[in-house]
Structure 1
Amino acid sequence: MFDRDLVLTDDDFTRIRQLIYERAGIVLAEHKREMVYSRLAKRLRHHGMTRFGDYLARLERQPAAREWEAFTNALTTNLTAFFREAHHFPLLASHIAGKPGPVRIWSAAASTGEEPYSIAMTLHETLGPRASESRVVATDIDTEALARARAGIYPMEQVRKLDESCIKRFFLKGSGERIGLARVRPEVTSMVEFEQLNLLAPNWSIKGPFDAIFCRNVMIYFDKSTQARILQRFAPLLKPDGLLFAGHSENFSYISEAFRLRGQTVYMLKPSA
């Protein structure tokens, strides 16, 4: 038990791990206890509570309460950046360069928007005027992260890491009260459709087919059986030559028989799939 102002027992931590697994498929390791305390403590203080057990009991009494959203948001990790895992984007560009008609891509763990906007920028650079016909569907379970993504406004120190030509083409620098911030240009944001989606939900509202699916650095939070179910559901949403982009520490080759490795953390459907 932590020597802190709020009471988190071993049983409380076990219940939290079970609830977030059931709700979002996230597997919390034993060493995440301090992270859980710090993130959920804000929710307890918001409700004037001092015991995690009381907070969890309130959640379990109200399965449809809005507080479940705050609970899930608090335990979701949103580590991302523009053009993260940069080797994926030239591969995406070469894949869509000769595509006839509109291109559709799904960013399945969109977080605060850097990934889907990076995809949209790649479409602009590759397709030129035809890019406006294409769409990036961006989903995430975290509603707070999606709200930040829809705003499309980021600290300038984060944007400054990009090439100057990219900044000039795709961002508007803030001034006055907005100095130190940058907004993604409307021709990019207009291509991205944001939607809340839980990958564990029995039904997904989005429809394929997609030229590519980005599901990067989210499967690491799921166990193998959950990973396999999600990959099985991805397969029919991809075009026959579609690509599935994974995170740098994720390996799907031994999880699903539907996909084969094409390149570094990039997969294609097997012909039999």
Structure 2
Amino acid sequence: MNDACHGVERSHTLSNGDFSRLSQFIYDELGIKMPIAKKTMLEARLQKRLRSLGIESFHVYCDYLFSSQGIENEMVQMIDLVTTNKTDFFREPDHFDYLLQNVLPEWVNRHPGKKLVVWSAGCSTGEEPYTLAMVLSQFADSYPGFNYQILATDISTRVLEKAKLAVYDEERVIPVPMTLKKKYLLRSKDKSCQRVRIVPELREKVRFRRLNFMDGDFAMREPIDIIFCRNVIIYFDRPTQEKLLNHFCVHMVPGAYIFMGHSETLSGLDVPLTMVHPTVYRKLK
């Protein structure tokens, strides 16, 4: 695919018209608001795809993207580029302390013998679900019979592939406490390799799946006891946040918890959730 076959002049800038087409699609399909202030960012990210496809015009790229062939072959690639994936091991550590000290002991007392189902919604490259797996496995050491399963979802196929591989640069695991590093991280026999991998017994506890929050059906296998959806809804407008959180609640058992990012608030939203700790909420019924 090249300019000659489309008769289009070389153009490295994204026109306002094509930006409008793209931003409207991103909002309709992903629920993410893309104001004109983000035009330069979107342009820079999409340049990679234009180079990869041999397309030198954003207009031609948009025409291709919205064609039947583009919808089938290119749409996922574009979504991967425009979604933000920032995460760390033990990010916002107060949440994991509250989970370990308050939520889990109470849950075990109320549900003896039941498997705990946790959902990491917007899991990115896997640091959050694997952090959860470490915390839950540590808890299981003190509570024989305790069992859990983690569902980890993201809209980006690119980050999900990295998450499934579970290999991280050593600098990425600096926040992991040393006792947990020794127990849950594997180092290469090659001393020059500055990478680690999550141990198999934790990888087996995490099930990764691609999921778009705007899809009508989340296709959950079983009700959810705890959701971590942190620093995700900040990319949505308030009506979309309210709709999404109510959709979450449909899949949560009564008394289930949802952990939000410290920069997020549910104030003013009509949702059946009450705050029990800063940025930690519980389903009312």
**Which residue, 124, 135, 148 being the options, matches 1:122?**
135
Tell me if structure 2 keeps the 8 A contact 1:132–1:187. Answer: no
Which residue type is aligned with residue 242 of structure 1?
A
Mapping of 1:200-211 within 5 angstroms? Answer: 200-211=214-225
Aligned to 2:269: 255
Q: Gaps (5+ residues) in structure 2?
A: 1-9
| Structure 1 position 9 matched with structure 2 position 23 | no
With normalisation by structure 2, the TM-score equals 0.89
With normalisation by structure 1, the TM-score equals 0.93
Tell me if structure 1 keeps the 8 A contact 2:242–2:271. Answer: no
Aligned to 2:97: 90
Note the C-alpha offset of 1:30: 2.2
Aligned to 2:120: 107
Deviates more, 1:25-34 or 1:114-123: 25-34
Aligned to 1:68: 75
Aligned to 1:156: 170
SS in 2 for 1:65: helix
Structure 1 moving runs of 4+ over 6 Å:
none
Note the C-alpha offset of 1:12: 1.5
**Which residue, 141, 158, 167 being the options, matches 1:144?**
158
Note the C-alpha offset of 1:35: 1.4
Note the C-alpha offset of 1:7: 2.9
Change (3 A) 1:178 1:230: farther
Q: What CA distance in whole angstroms lies between the structure 2 residues aligned with 1:122 and 1:131?
A: 16
Note the C-alpha offset of 1:6: 1.4
Aligned to 2:282: 268
**Which residue, 61, 64, 75 being the options, matches 1:58?**
64
Percent identity of equivalent pairs: 35
**Alpha carbon RMSD of aligned pairs, Å?**
1.8
Q: What CA distance in whole angstroms lies between the structure 1 residues aligned with 2:146 and 2:19?
A: 48
Aligned length: 268
Q: What CA distance in whole angstroms lies between the structure 1 residues aligned with 2:41 and 2:191?
A: 34
Tell me if structure 2 keeps the 8 A contact 1:24–1:198. Answer: yes
Tell me if structure 2 keeps the 8 A contact 1:207–1:237. Answer: no
Aligned to 2:251: 237
Note the C-alpha offset of 1:240: 1.4
Q: Deviations over 1:199-238 (max 9, x none)?
A: 1001112234222011111101111111111111111221
Change (3 A) 1:159 1:131: farther
Tell me if structure 1 keeps the 8 A contact 2:153–2:210. Answer: yes
Which residue type is aligned with residue 105 of structure 1?
V
Note the C-alpha offset of 1:132: 7.6
